């Protein structure tokens, strides 16, 4: 059986043995998307990282309640307390109801997550569906004296909180340093202190997403939803809170402070953060021209891409790096991942061709232990994948007769390959290892070549030659083989 799961806790900055608060139940909360644009590469990494965690914990026998929220209100431009709501802005630009924007991009997000074989969470709460819970949270923080009302808005009093707690403990910041590096407020501001953050904002006349509250007609601050929904669905104390490293500050820092202020204690036992992705060594950003949507990855339509990359290639590529390392997307690296994944699935299929022996030179049990050890060490998927490739070499040796495996060993190896590849890493075979577009494309070429085969059988040489010559003119290299035909695109 597996070793104890050890995970890196951002809060303690060290690896800790995972001990759930109410074992075998595990509470897992992950910050989901703000649904105002098409899902992009930056959405794929946290989704896949915490999908691996969800699958792994479930495989260990834990009963995981996985909550991943949808942010559909309160996330303002530049993650700030001023400016337009990201969703309202999109609605205004496209002349839609804000909830139409939310529904459209939530559907798009689900579609992309399905393609990446990311399992749906147990609960997917919307911020806009939990306004009452958020108002109650603000009331409690006000009662505790750690927030103040100003011009119809309510702000968290960071300085006061910091007198008895450490604001900045999650992200490793110290409030005095933060204050020294920030502009002083000019007295015109509603806030007492530049680091105070909004719990409730009074809506300006043009702000269309608005609710009644004791303080004003307005909307909740962005950080509040995760405090309110995490507490509602996972309780005052729960095991794991995850998200991208970019959310550590201010989003998770503020969430932690809100919970301590309202509940009198921290809620989260282990904080986990996945690292960022870069594109050709550069940070991904709309202004940098290297912002790639997942749909563009899958159909290859972004100018930086030399070909489409299938959802499983993207998934495998992300899993080939440890979640706490940065990950650079480049065509070379993605093409290598595509080939690697093909090799894994080829070996998986080849298991059916192995003839068992009386003796075994393949150590199936050792292989299983090494894979479990890698996962138990803070989800070390790249090491696990290295062990899978080592097994690929042994499977290929078993086929050419230079390695042996017993019937019992072979049955177990098949079970393990299914378990590790499909169930835990969440990789599933794709028809050609390429995108759906490429599948359709290959299907059409195969169809033409099937028609050509039939024509040949009927000695209809004219049709047969016509198909071959036309395909050749289009750049296809068609070969007749013993089994029928083979082709590749020679351009
Ligand atoms: Zn959140």
pLDDT digits (tens, 9 = 90+) for 333-342: 999 999 999 9
* Contacts for 151 with CB less than 8 Å, ≥ 6 apart: 190, 202
User: Residue 259 is part of a domain; what is its CATH number?
Assistant: 3.40.50.620
Spacing, Cα 272 to ligand 1 middle (Å): 13
| Domain shared by 143 and 225, yes or no | yes
Spacing, Cα 30 to ligand 1 middle (Å): 7
| Domain shared by 442 and 393, yes or no | no
Spacing, Cα 34 to ligand 1 middle (Å): 10
pLDDT of residue 360: 96
Give pLDDT tens digits for 78-94.
777 888 888 888 888 88
Is 267 contained in some domain? yes
Spacing, Cα 297 to ligand 1 middle (Å): 26
pLDDT of residue 181: 75
| Domain shared by 225 and 143, yes or no | yes
Is 478 contained in some domain? yes
Give pLDDT tens digits for 427-436.
998 865 445 5
Average pLDDT, the chain: 93
| Domain shared by 87 and 180, yes or no | yes
Spacing, Cα 31 to ligand 1 middle (Å): 4
Number of H helices and number of E strands within the chain? 16, 15
| Domain shared by 105 and 197, yes or no | yes
Spacing, Cα 29 to ligand 1 middle (Å): 9
Spacing, Cα 309 to ligand 1 middle (Å): 30
Measured distance CA(370)–CA(402) in Å, rounded: 23
Spacing, Cα 223 to ligand 1 middle (Å): 6
Q: What is the mean pLDDT of residues 98-127?
A: 96
Please tell me the least confidently modeled range out of 24-28, 108-112, 298-302, 473-477: 473-477
Q: What is the mean pLDDT of residues 202-206?
A: 90
Residue in this structure with the two tokens 């834990």, named with its chain if needed: 62
Q: Residue 310 pLDDT more than 60?
A: yes
pLDDT of residue 433: 44
pLDDT of residue 188: 67
| Domain shared by 224 and 144, yes or no | yes
Give pLDDT tens digits for 349-373.
999 999 999 999 999 999 999 999 9
Query: Of 398, 431, 464, which residue constitutes the final position of a domain?
Result: 431
Spacing, Cα 269 to ligand 1 middle (Å): 16
Q: Residue 1 pLDDT more than 50?
A: no
**Domains in the chain: how many in total?**
3
Spacing, Cα 298 to ligand 1 middle (Å): 28
Q: What is the mean pLDDT of residues 153-157?
A: 97
pTM of the complete model? 0.86
| Domain shared by 156 and 180, yes or no | yes
Q: Residue 421 pLDDT more than 80?
A: yes
Is 353 contained in some domain? yes
Is 189 contained in some domain? yes
| Domain shared by 387 and 403, yes or no | yes
Confidence of residue 129 (pLDDT cuts 50, 70, 90): very high
Determine the structural domain holding residue 402 and report its residue range.
279-431
Q: What is the mean pLDDT of residues 308-322?
A: 97
Spacing, Cα 37 to ligand 1 middle (Å): 17
Is 452 contained in some domain? yes
Do the beta carbons of residue 287 and residue 259 sit within 8 Å? Answer: no
Is 1 contained in some domain? no
Of residues 2 and 337, more confidently modeled: 337
pLDDT of residue 189: 83
| Domain shared by 102 and 190, yes or no | yes
DSSP 3-state of 372 = helix
Pairing of strands 277-279, 327-329: parallel
Query: Of 406, 431, 456, which residue constitutes the final position of a domain?
Result: 431
Is 90 contained in some domain? yes
pLDDT of residue 432: 52
CA nearest to 84, candidates 199, 189, 2, 205: 205
Spacing, Cα 7 to ligand 1 middle (Å): 20
CA angle 322, 42, 434 (to 5 degrees): 80
Is 188 contained in some domain? yes
Q: What percentage of the chain has pLDDT greater than the value 90?
A: 77
Spacing, Cα 2 to ligand 1 middle (Å): 31
Q: Residue 490 pLDDT more than 80?
A: no
Do the beta carbons of residue 487 and residue 471 sit within 8 Å? Answer: yes
Spacing, Cα 252 to ligand 1 middle (Å): 7
Spacing, Cα 179 to ligand 1 middle (Å): 24
| Domain shared by 94 and 130, yes or no | yes
Measured distance CA(425)–CA(50) in Å, rounded: 11
User: Residue 398 is part of a domain; what is its CATH number?
Assistant: 1.10.730.10
Spacing, Cα 371 to ligand 1 middle (Å): 32
| Domain shared by 123 and 150, yes or no | yes
| Domain shared by 145 and 117, yes or no | yes
Helices (H), 251-363: 253-263, 294-299, 311-319, 331-350
Spacing, Cα 225 to ligand 1 middle (Å): 7
Query: Of 274, 299, 321, which residue constitutes the final position of a domain?
Result: 274
Do the beta carbons of residue 455 and residue 463 sit within 8 Å? Answer: yes
pLDDT of residue 474: 85
Spacing, Cα 122 to ligand 1 middle (Å): 16
Please tell me the least confidently modeled range out of 63-67, 161-165, 456-460: 456-460
Q: Residue 491 pLDDT more than 70?
A: no
């Amino acid at each position: 059986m597996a070793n104890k799961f050890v995970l890196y806790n951002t809060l303690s900055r060290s690896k800790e043995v995972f001990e759930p608060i109410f074992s075998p139940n595990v509470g897992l909360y992950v910050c989901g998307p703000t649904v105002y644009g098409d899902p992009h590469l930056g959405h794929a990494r946290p989704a896949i990282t915490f999908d691996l965690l969800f699958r792994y914990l479930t495989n260990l026998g834990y009963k995981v309640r996985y909550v991943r929220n949808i942010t559909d209100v309160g996330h303002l431009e530049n993650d700030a307390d001023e400016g337009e709501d990201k969703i309202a802005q999109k609605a205004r630009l496209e002349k839609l109801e804000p909830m139409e924007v939310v529904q459209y991009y939530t559907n798009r997000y689900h579609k992309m997550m399905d393609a990446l074989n990311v399992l749906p969470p147990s609960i997917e709460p919307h911020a806009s569906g939990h306004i009452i819970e958020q108002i109650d949270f603000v009331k409690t923080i006000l009662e505790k004296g750690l927030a103040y009302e100003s011009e119809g808005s309510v702000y968290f009093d960071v300085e006061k909180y910091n007198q008895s707690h450490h604001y900045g403990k999650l992200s490793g910041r110290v409030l005095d340093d933060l204050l020294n590096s920030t502009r002083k407020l000019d007295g015109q501001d509603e806030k007492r202190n530049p680091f105070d953050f909004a719990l409730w904002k009074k809506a300006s006349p043009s702000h269309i997403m608005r609710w009644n509250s004791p303080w004003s007609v307005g909307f909740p601050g962005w950080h509040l939803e995760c405090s309110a929904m995490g507490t509602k669905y996972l309780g005052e104390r729960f095991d794991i809170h995850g998200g991208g490293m970019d959310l550590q500050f201010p989003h998770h820092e503020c969430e932690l402070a809100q919970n301590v202020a309202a509940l009198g204690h921290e809620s989260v036992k282990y904080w986990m953060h996945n690292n960022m992705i870069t594109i050709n060594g550069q940070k991904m950003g709309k202004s940098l021209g290297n912002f790639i949507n997942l749909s563009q990855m899958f159909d290859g339509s972004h100018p930086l891409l030399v070909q489409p990359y299938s959802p499983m290639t993207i998934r495998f590529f992300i899993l080939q790096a440890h979640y706490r390392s940065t990950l650079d997307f480049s065509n070379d690296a993605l093409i290598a991942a595509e080939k690697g994944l093909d090799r894994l699935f080829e070996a998986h299929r080849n298991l059916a061709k192995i003839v068992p022996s009386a003796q075994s030179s393949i150590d199936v049990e050792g292989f299983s232990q090494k894979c479990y050890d890698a996962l138990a060490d803070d989800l070390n998927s790249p090491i696990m994948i290295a062990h899978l490739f080592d097994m690929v070499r042994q499977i290929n040796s078993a086929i050419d007769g230079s390695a042996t495996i017993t019937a019992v060993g072979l049955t177990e190896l098949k079970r393990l390959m299914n378990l590790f590849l499909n169930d835990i890493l969440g990789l599933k075979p794709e028809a050609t290892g390429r995108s759906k577009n490429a599948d359709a494309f290959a299907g059409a070429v195969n169809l033409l070549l099937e028609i050509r085969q039939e024509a040949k059988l009927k000695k209809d040489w004219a049709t047969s030659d016509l198909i071959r010559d036309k395909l050749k003119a289009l750049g296809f290299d068609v070969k007749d083989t013993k089994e029928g035909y083979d082709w590749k695109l020679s351009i």
